[in-house]
Amino acid sequence: MNSTLWRITLLRIVALVIGVVLIYNLFQIQVIDGEKWANVADNNRFRHLIELAPRGRINSADGLELAASIP
């Protein structure tokens, strides 16, 4: 009986320590470093990218040229 009570107490202490560490990390991310992570998120949200599409000939299935690029 004493061994079971000791194991339950140890499990509760471990769960409490894990919970405190988790709550501290969440507090640090949300409150302490909140402005930093908001800026990171804003910079990550939009990315302007100009991608030029490749141009070239368009051929039909039998090999006839349907459209060509004019240089």
In tens, the pLDDT along 21-45 reads 999 999 999 999 989 999 888 888 7
Terminal Cα-to-Cα distance of the chain (whole angstroms): 89
Largest distance between two CA atoms of the chain:
90
Neighbours of 22 (CB within 10 A): 10
pTM: 0.53
